[in-house]
Amino acid sequence: MTSWVRALGAVLACAAAAACASGGAGTASLSPEGLTALEAQRAQHPTDPDLNLRLAKAYHAANRFADARAALATVLLQQPGNRVAQAYLGFTYEGLEQFDSARTIYGMLLAGRPSGEVSRLLNGRLALLARKELHANARAALARESELSRTPPDPSTVAVFPFRYTGQDSSLRPLERGLAALVVSDLSHVRSLRLVERERLQALLDEMQLSTSGRVDPATGARSGHLVGAGQVVQGQFQEVPTAGVRLDAAMVRAVDAGVAATGSGRDQLNLLFDVEKSVVFQLLGKMGVPLTPAESLAISERPTRDLQAFLLYSRGLEQEDRGDFGAASASFRAAAQRDPSFQAAAQQAQSSDAAQSAGVGSESNLAAAIGGSGPGGPPAGGTADALTLAINSTVPSGAAIVSGTQTTTELNLPVRNDPVCEAAGCGGPTLPPPLSVGTIIIIINRP
Amino acid sequence: MRIRLTLGVVLTLAAPLWSQGTTALYSRWNTLSGFEFQRYGFAQGLVVKSASQWSLPLVVVAPLGRRMSLDLTTHFAHSAITDSAGGSADFTGLTDTQLRLLYTVGRDRAVASLSVNLPTGKRSFTTTQFGVSSAVSSNFLSFPVSNLGTSFGITGGLAYAVPAGGWNVGLAGSVRYQSSYKPLSDSGATLSYDPGIESRLRIGADRVVAQRGRLLLGFTYSSFSTDQFSGGALVSGTFDPGSRLIGDFGYAYTWGRTTLTLGAWDFYRLAGRSGTGTGAIGTAGNNENIFNTELRLARQLSPRVVVEPLVGYRYWNLGGHLYSVGVNGRFGLSDSFSGIASARISPGSVDGTGVTGLGLSLLLRYQR
């Protein structure tokens, strides 16, 4: 027994040491010396695809994206179908802020009909990519601000600022984003308006490092409108009021002159928050003279949920997602969807946050491994290679079949010929009669 | 030893293989080791009270150029039995080592193989230890290491695969020669055993079914020429092992992160014939049929973790059956390290007597 324990311990220690030595799952970083050694090896074998792939991973981990791209080009020149290299090329393009190229790579991988899990991860990565792109665009817009400020934005395009909470109950603060998302959703039903995505404006505000008071300043609204190409900006605030009510105020600010085009205001019990919000939206649209069809009015009147607690959880999820905490966001969205299973936006956000969490920064190694090991949807279609491997392993047995099997899901254990002497003696079997009493050979050899 | 046939070998082999321009069937370095344990406890009524085995397998696969690979397989194993009278016997040591060279002929449709069995294991046992060898060689109980050691052997094989409609068809054949050896070290030390030549043929086919399903069918036929043994006039004789037929079936269906697998095989052995030194020939009582089936449900919990509960059933026409419940866990530690941990409990009966099997294993693989 103790020998088993020692053996098992040795194996586990070996595995742990190896995992540590390799940097563990999810990282391909190397020490500068390790990187130099790898570069020296590559100098000896400049076109070796394995070496170049390892080097590309190390360069990626060291944020040397241009070098990573060059190494990956070498790999893909020889192995155009190497999906791990393709995945790393996507990550590398992200690092180079060449988002269109990265999107093309991920789109190509998705077009290969990978398994559901890999699709989920790739979609999560695309969501993260979109987020990175929003921030990069925001930075670019700020850099071009003087130019953009001279360009009149589209008057039918509307951006919605996160609402400013001016009350004392910090548990309500997440509603700042929830209400903005709700207003964006409502206004998006109006065909004559184009809405700036909430996340896009949020990325800009993050880059501007705007103070909370700036969110209700019409000059800031007008400036932001120019930067995101919105001719009109909704800004607002809310707070709790005596007798357990809530008050919501909003204004539509023209980006061209920072003038207030319309205002709306509502007040009611907190549990009627959605009614208040709808009322404010209808007021803004009415004062702006935006005509609404009955269908548009009906769509705006729809509540995403009737459960205020679920909406609060959803709002918290938005806040966490904006912070980049996708794990917490996923949990909040999921909790919201559990409270109200009909709350579709929460369920969708839970899925996308979950995928973004799995595919996020630091998970490149796992993601690449999943992509590299994924078949084209469903079980891998191996062509003749599979049949060939099975055939040779069945007729010329080897432990190599087990090596193949450790990453696969379908195995059959077939018996091969056992000890021939034992077969001849007829002794093999679970009844295990004394060997000396059964079989031809043993009986014979025990004669004096 | 058991062959683990994989329906999804291509996952690790074929995809990189076809895309990388190399035609070697195993194009990457692999090393596998770990720990396997199997034990059967028998209720009163049988001579044997328990049979157990632990083993440390070692498998190394090395690509050699663009067309060849070399693999090595061996085990260090401890096997033991206890009997109902309080006696026990055990054996610990290295098993034989198999070295196999694979060479891909032409583009990628045919593989030639040459395998050598190096007699690194113990091949001469005392009659007491022979009971251990007997226990672990049972096809029904299916120990991880079923053959502790024999003699030098050489196997040549050829496999060919061809697409046929929606099917991928694989054909293979092999011939195995094994030299003679002395299986007993005490009272039968003079006995020399000369195994006959084994020939094996297989036809297998697999295809994708309804986009997400994979079906595999296989049939393997083995025939054996007559074994000869001698050690003097009274211990000379022959043994004709009888042909062996194995049919196997596998179906895997994947949806999302889940794969449901149904696998089955049937092992049928025709009766052999024994001949004594006096010239009398009779039918050997080694014919048997074993049917085994398993249902597994694999769920990918994360990109590198798969959990696979399973249930199984095994039937032996000579009076035995086993039910199995267990779980496999597949995990990746890094890009290079992965592994599989398994646990299984198998209650059943043999000759109307209760038996309980326990199997545990942890295998780790390094791939480069």
Q: What are phi and psi of A229, to 5 degrees?
A: 75, 25
State whether B134 and A427 contact (CB < 8 Å).
yes
CA-nearest of B129, B175, B134, B133 to B156 is B175
Interface of A with B in 350-369 (CB under 8 A): 358, 365-369
Within 8 A by CB and 6+ apart from A270, the residues are A240, A244, A245, A246, A308
Residue A324 DSSP SS3: coil
B59 residue type, one letter: V
Query: Looking at A6-15, A320-329, A360-369, which range is the least confident one?
Result: A6-15
pLDDT above 90: residue A401: no
Contacts A428 to B, Cβ<8 Å? 134, 137-139
CA distance A438 to chain B (A): 10
Q: Residue A375: what pLDDT?
A: 37
Q: Which backbone phi and psi does A296 adopt, to 5 degrees? A: -65, -45
A58 to chain B nearest CA, in Å? 13
Rounded to the nearest angstrom, the minimum Cα separation between A175 and chain B is 33
Q: Which of A4, A416, A424 minimises the CB distance to B1? A: A416
Contact A430 B33 (CB under 8 A): no
Most confident of the following: A14-28, A417-431, B12-26, B242-256 = B242-256
Q: State whether B78 and A392 contact (CB < 8 Å).
A: no
For residues A5 and B78, what is the distance between their CA atoms, to the nearest angstrom? 14
Which of A385, A411, A429 has its CB closest to that of B138? A429
pLDDT at B26: 78
CB B318 within 8 A of CB B329: no
Instruction: Give the Cα separation of A120 and A118 in Å (integer).
Output: 5
Residue of B nearest to A373 (CA): B11
Taking phi first (over 0 means left), then psi (-120 to 50 degrees means alpha), and beta for anything else, what does residue B236 get? beta
Kindly state whether A417 is in contact with chain B, defined as any CB-CB distance less than 8 angstroms: yes
Question: Which chain A residue shows the shortest CA-CA distance from B181?
Answer: A421
What part of A 152-181 touches B (C-beta under 8 Å)?
none
Give phi and psi for B149, each to the nearest 5.
Answer: 175, 140
3-state SS track over A310-322 = HHHHHHHHHHHHH
The size of the A-B interface in CB pairs under 8 A is 484
The answer to whether A381 faces chain B, any CB pair under 8 Å, is yes
How far A66 CA sits from the closest chain B CA (Å)? Answer: 23
Whether residue A386 and residue B8 make contact (CB cut-off 8 A), yes or no, is yes
Cβ separation B108–A433 shorter than 8 A: no
Interface check for A441 against chain B (CB to CB < 8 A): the answer is: yes
- B319: chain A residues, CB-CB within 8 Å: 431
Q: Where is average pLDDT lowest: A213-217, A285-289, A296-300, B291-295?
A: A213-217
pLDDT band at A384 (very low <50, low <70, confident <90, very high): low
Up-side HSE of residue A344: CA atoms within 13 Å toward CB? 4
Inter-chain CB proximity B256 and A370 less than 8 Å = no
| Distance, CA of A236 to chain centre | 31
What is the arrangement of strands in the sheet containing B281-283, beginning at the earlier edge strand? B192-194, B227-230, B237-240, B273-276, B281-283
Of A223-232, A280-289, A370-379, B156-165, the least confident = A370-379
Our CA angle for A399, A403, A406, nearest 5°, is: 130
Residue B24 corresponds to which tokens in the numbers above?
Answer: 């070697």
pLDDT of residue A20: 31
| Out of B157, B208, B237, closest to residue A444 by CB | B237
Pairing state of beta strands B353-367 and B30-42? antiparallel
Note whether B303 contacts A367, CB cutoff 8 Å: yes
- Say yes or no for a CB contact (<8 Å) between B172 and A394: yes
**Six token digits for residue B114:** 């040459």
Higher pLDDT pick, A301 / B184? A301
- CA B249, CA A400: separation in Å to the nearest integer? 21
Residues of B in contact with A56 (CB under 8 A): none
- Looking at residue B360, its pLDDT comes to 96
**Phi then psi dihedrals of residue A238, to 5 deg:** -150, 160
The per-residue pLDDT for A366 is: 74
Q: How many helices (H) and strands (E) does chain B have?
A: 2, 23
Greatest Cα-to-Cα distance within chain B, rounded to the nearest angstrom: 67
Contacts of B201 (CB under 8 A, 6+ apart): A395, B172, B173, B220, B221, B222
- From chain B, the residues in CB contact with A422 under 8 A are 130, 133-134, 137
Chain mean pLDDT for chain A: 76
pLDDT grade, residue A332 (50/70/90)? very high
Asked if the model's pLDDT at residue A445 lies above 50, the reply is no
Give the list of residues 6+ apart from residue A241 with CB closer than 8 angstroms, or none.
A247, A267
| Dist CA A253 CA A219 (whole Å) | 9
What mean pLDDT do residues A19-38 have? 56
Q: Of A133-147, A212-226, B319-333, which gets the smallest average pLDDT?
A: A212-226
Q: CA–CA separation, A430 vs B140, rounded Å?
A: 7
Closest-CA distance, B54 to chain A, in angstroms, reads 8
Residue A277 confidence (pLDDT)? 92
A422 to B216: CB separation less than 8 angstroms, yes or no: no
Amino acid (one-letter) located at B132:
V
Quote the tokens at residue A144. Answer: 């071009």
pLDDT attached to residue A9: 39
A250: nearest Cα among A269, A232, A230: A232
What confidence score (pLDDT) does residue B310 get?
Answer: 94
From the number of C-beta atoms within 10 Å of its C-beta (0-12, 13-18, 19+), residue A45 rates as exposed
Nearest CA in chain A to B280: A440
Q: Is the dihedral of CA A435, A437, A442, A448 positive or negative?
A: positive
- Tell me how far apart the alpha carbons of residues B301 and B327 are, in angstroms, rounded to a whole number: 14
What burial class does residue A308 get, using C-beta atoms within 10 Å of its C-beta: 0-12 exposed, 13-18 middle, 19+ buried? Answer: middle
Measured CA distances, B327 to B261, B313, B343 (Å): 13, 15, 6
Look at A122-131, A246-255, A371-380, B177-186 and tell me which has the smallest mean pLDDT.
Answer: A371-380
Rounded Cα distance, B350 and B352, in Å: 5
Per-residue pLDDT at A215: 67
Lowest mean pLDDT among A25-39, A319-333, A395-409: A395-409
From the list B19, B202, B337, the residue facing A395 with the nearest CB is B202
A401/B5 CB distance under 8 A: yes
C-alpha B221/C-alpha B198 separation (Å) is: 10
**Interchain CB distance below 8 Å, B304 and A25:** yes
Taking CB atoms and an 8 Å limit, are B351 and A431 in contact across chains? yes
Amino acid at A340: D
| Sites in chain B below the pLDDT cut of 70 | 1-23, 107-108, 186-189, 210-212, 232-235, 256, 276-286, 303, 335
- What tokens appear for B235 in the block? 């211990």
For the whole prediction, is pTM greater than 0.80? no
In whole angstroms, give the CA distance from residue A277 to residue A265: 9
Mutate: best of B40, B236, B334, B351, partner A, most A CBs <10 A: B334
- Residue A99 pLDDT greater than 70, yes or no: yes
- Look at the alpha carbons of B241, B41, B3, B177 in this order and tell me if their dihedral is positive or negative: negative
pLDDT at residue A71 tops 60: yes
Half-sphere exposure of A413 (CA within 13 A, CB side): 17
In this structure, are residues B206 and B167 in contact, taking their beta carbons and an 8 Å threshold? yes
What tokens does A446 get?
């025990």
Q: How far is A52 from chain B (nearest CA, A)?
A: 13
Residue A21's pLDDT band (boundaries 50, 70, 90)?
very low
Q: What is the ipTM of this complex?
A: 0.79
Using the 8-state DSSP alphabet, how is residue B220 labeled?
E
Radius of gyration of chain B (CA): 21
DSSP string, A15-60: HHHHHHHTT-TT-----HHHHHHHHHHHHHSTT-HHHHHHHHHHHH
Answer yes or no: is pLDDT of A212 > 80. Answer: no
Of B19, B135, B161, the CB nearest to A79: B19
Q: A435 to chain B: nearest residue by CA? A: B131
B334, A22: Cβ pair inside 8 Å? yes
Does the beta carbon of A435 lie under 8 angstroms from any beta carbon of chain B? yes
Least confident of A97-106, A192-201, A317-326, A371-380: A371-380
**Mutation for A interface: B1, B7, B9, most A CBs within 10 A:** B9
Contacts 24+ apart (CB under 8 A), B253-257: B253/A378, B253/A379, B253/B212, B253/B213, B253/B214, B254/A115, B254/A378, B254/A379, B254/B212, B254/B213, B254/B214, B255/A116, B255/A378, B255/B212, B256/A115, B256/A116, B256/A117, B257/A115, B257/A116, B257/A117, B257/B299, B257/B300, B257/B301
> In this complex, which of A23, A400, A429 lies closest to B334 when CB atoms are compared?
A23
**φ and ψ at residue A300, rounded to 5 degrees:** -65, -35
CB B162 within 8 A of CB B190: no
Nearest to B366 among A18, A391, A419 (CB): A18
Most A-contacting residue of B1, B2, B3 (CB-CB within 10 A), to test interface? B3
| Confidence at residue A403, expressed as pLDDT on a 0 to 100 scale | 59
